[in-house]
């Protein structure tokens, strides 16, 4: 492996540069995935059958908490990558751990939110609207959950192997993924919750 | 339905039982054969764990030929059933299952892997690369495709095949009207294969953008690589839509969600829209690489450079964008407003313009060329008039007002076979013959190959042209029989005869492979066709590392210029080459995917959960794995090159 020292560590080998470009392209596919979910959501949002409409079940408090946790985590992982660029392994690991803890908090709030909906009579099977709502939120939530595992593996690797071109590359790609989930959440917050509550 | 009754075939017949026996016997023979010839180790270390793009390409090729056989048997059964009025060969349920699986198998498990085979084998060679950007991911793509295809294929021996058409429209595909598990197979089998295809798209886009040989700018890319680039982009935009549609369909069937139901707000037209937002671009995912293949074959056998390179690229890009703006033409008659139909009518017709440009470019390439009528060239020449007929009937179908007459008739069936068979099947058969010496180091027999071509072409015309007439007369597609008073009998009999000729052509294709393995000379030059692009600059068959020295490119047809204009291709000395290691990971993970998919089809939840955990364990293992690949030393390269007679030919 040839290491190009004029580049940041995560870009320093040929394979690293390929991995980053490949992951950007993968995110393009993810945009299509969530784009399709949103398009379907807008199609089905008023088709509530005998079930509740969005305004009847949405509650602002947990949603604001989720938004706060996820947006903060996205900022913190940015700090982590900055620490990585500076070569400060300890600070980087701390920021990554905080990121994942915020992520766990997000998932916790989302689960309680789902349970509340369920108690209020909005289940996966109630209507086209609730099916679509749970699928869209669930797909995002599943991505975050996967990210929690993925992130912890990367933390373990950086901790044990140090900052090498490989671990730096993995950390950087993970940060792209995490930022992406944050951006998707902004769309969910705006077009599902804000629009649904008015 | 009770747990065990789900595994039974809904309408068993002697045909199905004999197929079960045939499958069992074949599997047994393969196991005994592998054990007898002590090939298990070779199979594992040489093929199941390989990450070499050339071997993955060959595995795609073998799978595609197997699936061509399976889809072809379906086709022969359908035409046999319709050959005479009031035929009792198949019952209606069996006929429904056959046309549904014929469509899926031919499009997704035959045409797609055949294209992937050629993309995998040819693209890295054409751009002068050692491998694709992500060799392991490439292996995962193949094995996911393979397991998805196998899961789909076992449907007709366990539980019953999908019977709601290849487009699987809801509510017909919902639990109410398709109570047995067939449609579950459709949803999950295609999903697994589709993930693989998406990964291929990402892999090849990265490869083509980043791994080209020095000097190869985008406007110097060979045309097949250009078409693969454009195709990869369409895959990345189109396949996630299919992923979502299939997830929603699966949830409707397994978890009683209300996406596509009639009650509780569900919307069956949402499925039609999502399916065709993917499904229409899918047509171009197949046809654009086929166009690329013709653009490689025609210049080679006309001994002229490709006419209108820039307009070829531009028309391809234009088609790829437009392919996303025409999906609604698949349901002109399903109740949308007239102005919607008009818009999609126009966008559909517009696609004929760039396609026409390409047709003229091929004709101008041949004009004043010195044409050699080899098997690949025959397929390319046969393609042009037949595909044009298919294109013209396509424009007829695009007229939304007139479509109320043709919709869901045999006219439509004739049209899309008339574009897909000359367009895609001729391309892959021709290119398969063209690249055969590069893949295996010997040529296919030309004489038998020409017989196969003529049987296929004449059979094709006989099989599909009568359908235009019966379609305009009102013979509906998907009807399992018709009465004598309709008068469709004689034309359907001609169709059946044509189908039989096409079946003979398949036998001849298999025979030419068998014959050439036995008799063809192993002493072929590296460039048997006197070709023009870079893949012919390396040896036959291609060594593991593709090129001992990375070529230097400074013209559009580098290899031709190296041969006839003294352009220097390989500069410098041998250096050690970095290659990826083989790995069993992709195969093992895909096997777990198969188990997971099977468990979902039959709602065996504990097994599904175990499978899902298994998949994540594989991913976690991969995350922690350290694998830096290996180096091929200069001595080994020299040894290999000496066996081929040296690299220095174009040096």
Cα–Cα distance between B227 and B221 in angstroms, integer? Answer: 10
Residues recorded for chain A: 198
Q: How far is A145 from chain B (nearest CA, A)?
A: 12
pLDDT of amino acid B650: 54
Give per-residue pLDDT as tens, A43-61.
Answer: 999 999 899 999 999 999 9
Cα–Cα distance between B468 and B411 in angstroms, integer? Answer: 4
Whether B239 has its CB under 8 Å from any CB of chain A: the answer is yes
N-term to C-term CA, chain A:
56
Q: How far is A82 from chain B (nearest CA, A)?
A: 23
| Residue among B205, B241, B258 minimizing CB distance to A49 | B258
pLDDT of amino acid B1: 60
Asked if B291 and B357 touch (Cβ cutoff 8 Å), the reply is: no
DSSP 8-state class, residue B325: G
Residues of chain B with pLDDT under 70: 1, 646-651
Asked if A176 and A80 touch (Cβ cutoff 8 Å), the reply is: no
List CB contacts (< 8 A) between B138 and chain A: none
> If DSSP codes are grouped into helix, strand and coil, which group holds residue B490?
helix
pLDDT of amino acid B647: 56
Asked if B196 and B203 touch (Cβ cutoff 8 Å), the reply is: no
The region, left, alpha or beta by phi > 0 then psi within -120 to 50, assigned to residue B603 is left
pLDDT of amino acid A9: 86
List CB contacts (< 8 A) between A121 and chain B: none
pLDDT tier, A1 (very low <50, low <70, confident <90, very high otherwise) = low
pLDDT tier, A7 (very low <50, low <70, confident <90, very high otherwise) = confident
Chain centroid to CA B82: how far? 27
Cα–Cα distance between B618 and B586 in angstroms, integer? Answer: 9
Cα R_g (chain B), whole angstroms: 25
The answer to whether B245 contacts A36, with C-beta atoms less than 8 Å apart, is yes
The answer to whether B134 contacts A22, with C-beta atoms less than 8 Å apart, is yes
List CB contacts (< 8 A) between B247 and chain A: 135
CA distances from B482 to B85, B96, B475 (A): 5, 15, 8
List CB contacts (< 8 A) between B203 and chain A: 22
- Residue A132 structure tokens: 């679509």
Cα–Cα distance between B177 and B193 in angstroms, integer? Answer: 26
pLDDT of amino acid B448: 96
In this structure, what are the phi and psi dihedrals at residue B632, rounded to the nearest 5 degrees? -95, 125
Which helix H or strand E contains B375, and what residues bound it? helix B375-398
Asked if B535 and B104 touch (Cβ cutoff 8 Å), the reply is: no
| Residue among B243, B258, B274 minimizing CB distance to A128 | B258
Whether B202 has its CB under 8 Å from any CB of chain A: the answer is yes
ipTM given for this complex: 0.95
pLDDT of amino acid B604: 93
- Residue B284 structure tokens: 């171009």
pTM passes above 0.80: yes
| Residue among B240, B259, B624 minimizing CB distance to A132 | B259
Cα–Cα distance between B103 and B115 in angstroms, integer? Answer: 17
List CB contacts (< 8 A) between B194 and chain A: none
pLDDT of amino acid B416: 95
List CB contacts (< 8 A) between B206 and chain A: 18, 21-22, 25
Give per-residue pLDDT as tens, A73-126.
Answer: 999 999 999 999 999 999 999 999 999 999 999 999 999 999 999 999 899 999
Kindly give the interhelix angle for B223-255 and B268-302, rounded to the nearest 10 degrees: 160
What b/e sequence results for A75-111 when a residue is b if at least 16 CB atoms lie within 10 Å of its CB, and e otherwise?
ebbebbbebbeeeeeeebbebbebbbebbebbbebbe
Sorted by sequence, the CB contacts under 8 Å of residue A108 that are 6+ apart come out as none
Mean of per-residue pLDDT scores for chain A: 94
Asked if B551 and B570 touch (Cβ cutoff 8 Å), the reply is: yes
Asked if B351 and B322 touch (Cβ cutoff 8 Å), the reply is: yes
The answer to whether B248 contacts A47, with C-beta atoms less than 8 Å apart, is no
């Amino acid at each position: 492996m040839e290491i190009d020292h004029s580049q940041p560590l995560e870009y320093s080998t040929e394979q690293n540069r390929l991995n980053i470009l490949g992951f950007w392209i993968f995110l393009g596919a993810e945009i299509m995935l969530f784009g399709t979910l949103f398009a379907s959501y807008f199609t089905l949002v008023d088709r509530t059958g005998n079930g509740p409409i969005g305004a009847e079940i949405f509650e602002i408090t947990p949603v604001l908490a989720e938004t706060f946790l996820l947006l903060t985590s996205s900022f913190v992982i940015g700090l982590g990558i900055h620490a990585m660029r500076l070569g400060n392994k300890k600070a980087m690991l701390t920021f990554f751990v905080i990121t994942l803890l915020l992520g766990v908090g997000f998932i916790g709030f989302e689960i309680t939110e789902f349970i509340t909906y369920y108690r209020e009579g909005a289940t996966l099977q109630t209507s086209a609207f609730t099916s679509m709502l749970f699928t869209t939120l669930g797909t995002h939530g599943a991505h975050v959950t996967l990210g929690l595992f993925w992130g912890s593996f990367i933390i373990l690797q950086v901790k044990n192997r140090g900052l090498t071109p490989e671990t730096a590359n993995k950390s950087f790609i993970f940060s792209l993924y995490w930022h992406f989930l944050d951006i998707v959440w902004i769309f969910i917050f705006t077009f599902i919750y804000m629009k649904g509550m008015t | 339905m009770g747990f065990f009754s789900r595994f039974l075939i809904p309408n068993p017949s002697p045909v199905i039982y004999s197929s079960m026996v045939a499958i069992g016997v074949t599997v047994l023979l393969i196991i005994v054969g592998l054990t007898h010839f002590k090939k298990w180790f070779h199979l594992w270390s040489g093929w199941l764990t390989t990450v070499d793009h050339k071997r993955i390409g060959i595995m795609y090729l073998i799978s595609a030929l197997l699936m061509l056989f399976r889809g072809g048997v379906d086709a022969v059964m359908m035409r046999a059933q319709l050959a005479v009025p009031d035929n009792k060969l198949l019952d209606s349920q069996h006929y429904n299952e056959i046309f549904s699986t014929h469509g899926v198998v031919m499009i997704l498990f035959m045409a797609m892997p055949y294209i992937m085979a050629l993309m995998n084998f040819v693209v890295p060679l054409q751009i002068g690369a050692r491998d694709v950007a992500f060799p392991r991911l490439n292996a995962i793509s193949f094995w996911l495709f393979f397991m998805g295809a196998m899961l789909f294929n076992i449907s007709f021996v366990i539980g019953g095949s999908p019977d709601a058409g290849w487009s699987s429209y809801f509510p017909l595909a919902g639990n109410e009207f398709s109570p047995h598990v067939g449609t579950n197979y459709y949803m999950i089998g295609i999903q697994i294969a589709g993930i693989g295809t998406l990964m291929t798209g990402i892999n090849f886009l990265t490869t083509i953008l980043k791994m080209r040989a020095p000097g190869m700018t985008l406007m110097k890319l060979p045309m097949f690589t250009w078409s693969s680039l454009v195709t990869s982009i369409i895959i990345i935009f189109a396949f996630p839509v299919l992923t979502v549609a299939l997830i929603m369909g699966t949830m409707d069937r397994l978890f009683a969600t209300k996406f596509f139901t009639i009650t509780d707000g569900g919307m069956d037209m949402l499925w039609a829209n999502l399916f065709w937002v993917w499904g229409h671009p899918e047509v171009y995912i197949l046809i654009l690489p086929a166009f690329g293949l013709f653009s490689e074959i025609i210049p080679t056998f006309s001994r002229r450079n490709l006419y209108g390179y820039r307009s070829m690229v531009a028309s391809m890009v234009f088609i790829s964008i437009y392919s996303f703006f025409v999906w609604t033409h698949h349901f002109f008659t399903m109740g949308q407003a007239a102005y919607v139909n008009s818009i999609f009518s126009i966008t559909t017709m517009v696609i004929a313009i760039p396609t026409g440009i390409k047709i003229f470019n091929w004709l101008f390439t041949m004009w004043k060329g010195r044409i050699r009528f080899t098997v690949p060239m025959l397929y390319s020449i046969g393609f042009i008039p037949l595909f044009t007929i298919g294109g013209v009937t396509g424009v007829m179908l695009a007229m939304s007002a007139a479509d109320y007459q043709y919709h869901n008739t045999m006219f439509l069936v004739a049209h899309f076979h008339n574009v897909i068979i000359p367009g895609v099947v001729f391309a892959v058969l021709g290119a398969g013959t063209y690249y055969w010496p590069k893949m295996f180091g010997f040529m296919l027999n030309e004489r038998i190959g020409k017989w196969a071509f003529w049987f296929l072409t004449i059979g094709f015309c006989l099989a599909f042209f009568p359908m235009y007439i019966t379609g305009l007369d009102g013979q509906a597609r998907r009807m399992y029989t018709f009465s004598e008073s309709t008068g469709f009998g004689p034309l359907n009999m001609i169709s059946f005869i044509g189908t039989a000729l096409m079946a003979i052509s398949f036998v001849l294709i298999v025979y030419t492979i068998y014959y050439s393995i036995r008799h063809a000379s192993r002493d072929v030059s590296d460039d048997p066709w006197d070709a023009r692009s870079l893949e012919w600059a390396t040896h036959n068959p291609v060594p593991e590392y593709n090129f001992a020295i990375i070529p230097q490119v400074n013209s559009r047809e580098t290899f031709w210029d190296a041969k006839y204009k003294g352009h220097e291709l390989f500069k410098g000395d041998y250096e050690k080459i970095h290659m990826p290691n083989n790995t069993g990971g992709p195969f093992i993970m895909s096997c777990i995917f198969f188990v997971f998919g099977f468990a979902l089809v039959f709602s065996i939840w504990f097994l599904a959960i175990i499978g899902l955990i298994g998949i994540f364990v594989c991913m976690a293992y991969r995350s922690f794995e350290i694998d830096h690949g290996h180096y091929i030393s200069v001595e080994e390269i020299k040894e290999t090159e000496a066996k081929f007679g040296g690299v220095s030919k174009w040096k």
